[in-house]
Amino acid sequence: FPSVRHATVLRVFILLLCVGVFVVLRERVAEVSLENFSPFHNTSPCACGKCLSEDDVWFTQRFNKSVEPFLSAKHSLSEAAFRWWKGIQLEKRNFIYYSATVDNLFKTFPATPDVEASSDRCRTCAVVGNSGNLNGSPTPLDTHCKFPPLMNTGRTKGYEADVGKRTTHHVMYPESAVDLDNTTHLVLVPFKIQDLEWLIKAFTTGFSGASYMPVKSHIKANKDLVMVVNPAFMRYVHDTWLEKKGRYPSTGFMALVLALHICDEVSVFGYGADKDGNWSHYFEILKNKHLRTGPHAGTHEYDVIQQLHKNQIIHFFKGW
């Protein structure tokens, strides 16, 4: 983008595509029947003192246990879900091409995602967003949580007091990709078939395709810890949780719903606008105070988070 104007547009697009998050999945994060394959879900009560409430009508109307959060070799995406997903970024290739790409994906990465299911333990998760209101978080994340993720370009170095020191799952898409250590799960949120192709090539021959901004050719991460969010999960979050508001959910909100599906207790940090109503990242000095949430229904997402907190489904913490 050669001009200042284009650079500003790019910055706005990136910020509002991912205003987001990074999840400390100690994990803003499902669709397909799990009749025969259900590594993520339990019907047994968890071992926590208080688990996610199944007595709350508002919550149970939205929370669908049969939704599968991640792609696996045993999973088939419906053509209806594919058509919805295809329209998000005007993907031109067809369902057959998508299916072949997914088959190729599991030649490189684990056939099933690395998620344990156990009813004899209490799994607590901190979902950590990139919002500026993360600064001054009231609870030390490393002691608060036992099973954490990070999101997009979110970082910890220099911000340990607010975001903690360790990340177990880092949620990203190609345009927001960063290198990870060998113990952190790379959780890819794909918005188009090219994102799946990028994942394969970034770990093997190197990616050379074009996107709306530069994309890493190679990425450093543990390929055995790669997890790919099910495109139908995005549709489930959009249709059920967000009532079809916005074009599609933010990565941050999807991370939060994912946490509801795989964790027993969920705490949320770094979401929403700052105390002055500005949408920004905690690791940046805000220069453009007119930024909003682009294709995402940011205000509605925030309202849902507050409702989850009000109903005592999650614990929501602000830095102000």
How far is 29 from 250, CA to CA, in rounded Å? 9
Q: Which of 296, 86, 101, 89 is nearest to 211 (CA)?
A: 89
Task: State yes or no: 89 annotated in a binding site.
Answer: yes
Which regions of the chain are under pLDDT 70?
Answer: 1-47, 116-120, 130-166, 272-296, 319-320
**pLDDT for residue 111:** 95
Q: Which amino acid appears at position 64 of this protein? A: N
pLDDT tens per residue, range 13-34: 333 333 333 343 333 222 222 2
Which positions are annotated as active-site residues? 248, 296
Task: State yes or no: 282 annotated in a binding site.
Answer: no
pLDDT tens per residue, range 200-248: 999 999 999 989 889 999 999 999 999 999 999 999 999 999 999 998 9
For the chain, the 3-state helix, strand and coil shares in percent, each to the nearest 5, are 30, 10, 55
Cα-trace Rg, the chain: 18
Residues whose CB is less than 8 angstroms from the CB of residue 139 and which lie 6 or more positions away in sequence, other chains included? 267, 269, 317
Tell the residue number behind the tokens 């940046």, with chain if given: 284
Task: State yes or no: 130 annotated in a binding site.
Answer: yes
Task: State yes or no: 272 annotated in a binding site.
Answer: yes
Domains of the chain (ranges; CATH) run: 4-317 (3.90.1480.20)
**pLDDT for residue 124:** 82
**pLDDT for residue 41:** 41
How far is 160 from 166, CA to CA, in rounded Å? 9
**pLDDT for residue 303:** 92
How far is 108 from 181, CA to CA, in rounded Å? 19
- Do the Cβ atoms of 189 and 183 come closer than 8 Å? no
**DSSP class of residue 302?**
H
Tell the residue number behind the tokens 């705490």, with chain if given: 267
Task: State yes or no: 281 annotated in a binding site.
Answer: yes
